[in-house]
Amino acid sequence: MTFISLVYGLFLLIVLATYWLGRSPQWRLWTLLIVSLIFYSSLQLQYIPLLLVITLITFRLGQAMEANTALGGLQAKDQNLSNQEWQQGQEKWNGRRLRLLWFGIFINVILLFGFKYIPFFLTAIAAPLNLPVAQNTAVWISDRLIGPLGLSFFTFECIAYLIDVYRGAPASQQLLKFASYKLFFPKLIAGPITRYHPFAIQFKGLKFPTLEQSTEGLWLIACGAIKKALLADRLAIFVDLCFGNLERAGSADLWLAIAAYGLQLYLDFSGYVDIARGSAILLGFNLPHNFNFPYFSISIADFWRRWHITLGDWIRNYLYFPLGGNRKGLARTCWNLLMVMLIAGIWHGAAWGFVVWGGYHGLALAIHRLTEALSKRFERMKNWWQSLPGVLLAWLLTQLMVFSSWIFFRLPNLQDSGLVLQRLWGHTADVQFAQKVYQEALGLQRFEVAVLLAIVIAIMGIIYAFYQGLKIQLNWPLKLLLVPICLYMVWVFVPPGSLPYIYFDF
């Protein structure tokens, strides 16, 4: 069952009817948990026990870290102890809490490593250490082991919860509520990464959504379906043809494919999040935003405030700040940025291309921080970057960096991505490639493909101008009118064969 299917539409209708017919909070929690398990079972039934076990372990560790925190691990009857004894008790308890935290982080990291990174690790050491058995084992595991969908999102939420509890947030005291949050089906596979406490607060005041709220939920679902089915999946046809025939593609074809993939990735992922958020609204919940027009950023730091926002927040709160953030000097700040982006790259996948992608973004963030520091010292430099030519140049450089980095994201095998870099200039396409791709597969000329990409970008720009610049949005009656039109367009024009969401692999 995927979001873009009639099966999901029917499933969501049944869920909404069952969920809202029950009046008690317990009924709704049980409904959420059961339907979430059914949803995941339709994709990977075999991993349901694993997800439940990790949920239970995380829940129990949170409770164990919170117990007696206020008294430093000592009971109320011991209040006549000396200050020194109380301090020693508190230090002992804090040490135990820290060990529990590290144990929880270790379990989640090992789970992630075991399913995603063992073949990559074995392959990395096979050649330098001359261990053919390691290479053979890596191939054997890759062919037979398929990791749980959404594992990276699942483990990151568990780690965030444990760290929040360690820092003083209250631990969940209801396993049913915690499990309903962890397995909440709209966000389970590909986010957005949602922290427990903002989500759990919404359990207290659940109300049937108003007509305006229901319209917003349906509008998000319709927009997400348009993004995914009509745009991203269409772009995927051209992208796959180009990157699947690198030896035959010309430089112009590769540049178009890079631009198309950047748009495909954004539309695919943001389309998923739109449907997830829309489904959640119909159930009475608000999931966090994950995108804010990232391709209109004027710096790489601005890009990461707009792209995959929940991952960026996770990186800042649980990696960047604990490493020292920007509190230990400029050099240490740049080093921290590089380290956290390398980790973000590895999080996306077990391949050297993702490491290069993360390092590339980390280096860009460090250069931006250095440029920012210089601009504060030189007034003329600061004024230049704030002028119209400076803003346009900053936008152009940012997008050039972002889109060029997508090469390693789409082709994490360095031989393939390296070949693309080599062929970006001065290579003409094979005659047969042009005929097969443009004439037979697409029925378009290369120029027409470029025009269509420009139209997509222009539409995004118009929407950005209305939403961000003029602060104009469609009212709910108009949205309600457009919802069935959008869904009908998806029904009629969706390309044959449903493609999986790109972020399902992460």
Can 368 be counted among the known catalytic residues? Answer: no
DSSP per residue over 76-99, as a string?
Answer: GGGTTS-HHHHHHHHHHHHHHHHH
Report the alpha-carbon distance of residue 17 to residue 347 in Å, rounded. Answer: 37
Residue with tokens 């053979």: 136
- End-to-end, the C-alpha distance of the chain in Å comes to 18
- Cα-to-chain-centroid distance, residue 216: 22
Residue with tokens 């992460």: 506
Give the Cβ contact number of residue 110 at 10 Å. Answer: 11
Residue 128, Cβ density class (10 Å: 0-12 exposed, 13-18 middle, ≥19 buried)? exposed
Are 188 and 150 a contacting pair, CB within 8 Å?
A: yes
Q: How far is CA 477 from CA 214, 279, 474, 482, in A?
A: 11, 19, 8, 9
Are 138 and 119 a contacting pair, CB within 8 Å?
A: yes
Are 274 and 307 a contacting pair, CB within 8 Å?
A: no
* Most distant pair of Cα atoms in the chain: their distance: 89
Q: Which two tokens stand for residue 394?
A: 């900053």
Q: Torsions phi, psi of 471, nearest 5?
A: 60, 40
> Identity (one letter) of the amino acid at 414?
L
Report the alpha-carbon distance of residue 341 to residue 368 in Å, rounded. Answer: 14
Report the alpha-carbon distance of residue 131 to residue 471 in Å, rounded. Answer: 60
Q: Torsions phi, psi of 322, nearest 5?
A: -60, -30
Radius of gyration from C-alpha coordinates of the chain? 25
Contacts 24+ apart (CB under 8 A), 446-452: 446/252, 446/253, 446/256, 449/238, 449/256, 449/260, 450/256
Q: How far is CA 311 from CA 22, 54, 250, 318, in A?
A: 34, 21, 35, 10
Give the Cβ contact number of residue 344 at 10 Å. Answer: 21
Q: Which residues contact 220 (CB under 8 A, 6 or more apart)?
A: 274, 275, 277, 278, 281
Report the alpha-carbon distance of residue 93 to residue 96 in Å, rounded. Answer: 5
Backbone CA torsion sign across 223, 229, 234, 237? positive
Catalytic residue among 308, 348, 361, 368: 348
Are 446 and 433 a contacting pair, CB within 8 Å?
A: no
Are 62 and 171 a contacting pair, CB within 8 Å?
A: yes
Residues classed as catalytic: 348
